[in-house]
Amino acid sequence: MFILKHRTQIILLLLLFSGLAGVYLGYVFNNTKLPSGFNLNNSFINQPVSTPIPIMPTSTPIPAPAFVAQTTTTTQSSSDGSKNLILKSTSKEDGSRTYSLYTEDENGENTNLIFTRDVDKDTTITIPYNAWAPTNKYFFIKEESPSSTDIRVYSATGEPFTPEYQYLDLTQSFKQKETGNTFQEATGWGGYGLIVFNTKNQNNEQGPSYWYEVPGQSVIHLSTLFL
């Protein structure tokens, strides 16, 4: 009788625990989210498969280096060293240049701006080594381009020779003389107001030498060849 009674109690306790476990499992099941596309049988529902889009590497463009203007300075002293001729050349991004020409005393005083000019990339302005006249009153420079070579004479003070002309054009004066020869080079000063220059003849051979008289702009044929 005692054993039957306790057996009955044990069965009731097991039934109670089974009921509580069922309630607990039902609660957990109802409050747990299953993964999308997953059914109760732990099998995925057929869904379209998407192809992943590859991520292409991106490159950062390298900026071109910024243009930096370069300035060069050329100085030519007079024969006695008392005057300086200064030419500054500044480059531009398109290859052209800006030239500025000055004269000044040897101590850096009495500076005169002769000109500032913009030229294309194929044109150059230079100071010949013998540019200064013996009196330091005049000087000449050379301008070259693919089509011509020009010698231009200036006053050391920068004052124009006439109201119309700031400088004298040696090569143009020689062309107007129509000698049949062509300008070759200016070799220097043959006197206080005389520039010596050489020419080529019609056969492109060495021609005669000439004097160019400043400021009268006269062209004088010489019997002696100056090389």
Locate the domains of the chain by residue range. Answer: 1-30, 71-221
The string of pLDDT tens digits covering residues 64-115 is 788 888 999 999 999 999 999 999 999 999 999 999 999 999 999 999 999 9
CA–CA gap between residue 127 and residue 26 (Å, rounded): 105
Question: What is the pLDDT confidence band of residue 8, given thresholds at 50, 70 and 90?
Answer: low
The string of pLDDT tens digits covering residues 137-164 is 999 999 999 999 999 999 999 899 988 8
Question: What is the pLDDT confidence band of residue 172, given thresholds at 50, 70 and 90?
Answer: very high
Question: What is the pLDDT confidence band of residue 11, given thresholds at 50, 70 and 90?
Answer: low
Q: Which CATH code for domain 71-221? A: 2.130.10.10
**Is the entire prediction scored with pTM above 0.75?**
no
Tell me, what amino acid is at 113? L
Are 157 and 167 in contact by the 8 Å Cβ rule? The answer is: no
Q: Quick check: 207 pLDDT over 50?
A: yes
